[in-house]
Amino acid sequence: MDAVNLLCFDLPGLAAYCEQLGEKKFRATQLFRWIHQKGASDFDQMSDLAKSLREKLAGRAVIQGLDVISEHVSADGTIKWLFDVGAGNAVEAVFIPEDDRGTLCVSSQAGCAVGCRFCSTGHQGFSRNLSTAEIVAQLWFAEHNLRRRQNTTERVISNVVMMGMGEPLQNYDQLVPALKTMLDDHGYGLSRRRVTVSTSGVVPMIDRLREDCPVALAVSLHAPTDPLRDQLVPLNKKYPIEELLAACNRYLDKAPRDFITFEYCMLQEVNDAPEQAQELVKLLKGKVSCKLNLIPFNPFPASGLIRSTNARVQAFAEVLIQAGFVTTVRKTRGDDIDAACGQLAGEVQDRTRAHIRMVRAPVTVAKSQ
């Protein structure tokens, strides 16, 4: 019988497992703290656990992280790790240090089946969903690795964004226990406001997340109209903008923040004209409580797209700001190590014929004069 990886359990799941071993629930809390708060991987380290329990665990369970294939450190302090998830697949996680926070960008899938035009991961295709243990292992490794490097026992990672490889809401059943582990006071103790799930717009799963584990929500919008979004975010053909915005409004009822973040990747002469900014204002104003995050496109050869000039980004932002929207332009971090937004690619044994699927005609859009 294969050993159970205890990283796969949230606290209720671990309590149920301990009960199967004939142990009381409070033992699960002790064990959970050792794993997530102290980074222990050896049961013999867990000095306040009964020896009988440690012996049971040693024969049945493991605390197994992911093997690190490579680590790259950017000039700006960003760190990117490539993790082996087996069968030729590898996923990436990125730590972004700032003065007031430390953010970890976590992957949820080996590849991505959504196939957004501007995303390097999508061009690699899709192999499989990550398990809960593989999602949590990225945080478990990063947090305790960084503590050792910084010679501290204090928490280093204050924010987690599910913005790495994959569409998190297409791996819902594995995602939610991972989120609950991140939020649990006996685990990483992160605030729901500081854990963000980013989605391309899987409407039914947005509704489920609202009920099961409402954390901060970011939505990859990237276009003000359905015809253009159909080209940039193919999922839009299934869940068009009107349905997506309705789901966002429903989500706000239980969200930890009183706004949705809409992400908008700035693509030269595709979605960055001032007229398109006005269309975005018309689409959103008075309809969804939101903030807008404009993201400089990080080019890669297969995309056929170009990053908007700074002047076009600023002109676009100015239209939104004048209309009363809180608007930020994301600072590009880690682009010298391909760790910036849209650049994560890892290694993917594609099962979806992405090399054929992603060969498309240029994006068509009426250019502004």
Same domain, 206 and 180: yes
In a domain, residue 368? The reply is no
pLDDT for 366: 44
Each residue of 122-162: pLDDT tens digit?
Answer: 788 899 999 999 999 999 999 999 999 999 999 999 999 99
In a domain, residue 43? The reply is yes
* Domain stop point among 19, 47, 62: 62
What is the domain range of residue 35? 4-62
Residue 55 is a catalytic residue:
no
Residue 263 is a catalytic residue:
no
Each residue of 188-200: pLDDT tens digit?
Answer: 999 999 999 999 9
- Choosing from 112, 116, 290, 341, which is the catalytic residue? 341
CATH of the domain at 19: 1.10.150.530
* Domain stop point among 62, 80, 95: 62
Q: Which two tokens stand for residue 287?
A: 């309809």
In a domain, residue 366? The reply is no
pLDDT for 368: 45
pLDDT for 330: 83
Paired strand residues for 74? none
Paired strand residues for 67? 84
Same domain, 37 and 74: no
pLDDT for 349: 82
Same domain, 265 and 313: yes
Same domain, 12 and 90: no
pLDDT for 124: 85
pLDDT for 358: 57
In a domain, residue 215? The reply is yes
Same domain, 205 and 331: yes
- Choosing from 8, 18, 23, 92, which is the catalytic residue? 92
Q: What is the largest CA-CA distance in the chain?
A: 76
Same domain, 39 and 78: no
Same domain, 75 and 88: yes
Same domain, 11 and 77: no
Backbone angles phi, psi at 134, to 5 degrees: -70, -30
Averaged confidence pLDDT in the chain:
92
Give the three-class secondary structure for 259. Answer: coil
CA distance 217 to 111: 21
* Domain stop point among 44, 62, 80: 62
Same domain, 191 and 270: yes
CATH of the domain at 213: 3.20.20.70
CB 266 within 8 A of CB 295: yes
DSSP code of 155?
-
Q: Decide the pairing of beta strands 101-105 and 159-162.
A: parallel
Same domain, 87 and 15: no
pTM of the full structure = 0.94
For residue 113, give Cα distances in angstroms to 197, 218, 262, 355.
17, 19, 21, 12
Same domain, 178 and 34: no
* End-to-end CA separation in angstroms for the chain: 67
Same domain, 81 and 206: yes
pLDDT for 369: 35
Domain count across the chain = 2
pLDDT along the chain (369 residues), means of 10: 94 97 95 98 94 93 97 93 95 95 97 90 88 98 98 97 96 98 98 98 98 98 98 97 98 97 97 98 98 92 90 98 96 63 60 63 55
Q: What dihedral do alpha carbons 6, 8, 13, 16 form, nearest 10°?
A: -40
pLDDT for 342: 47
CB 175 within 8 A of CB 107: no
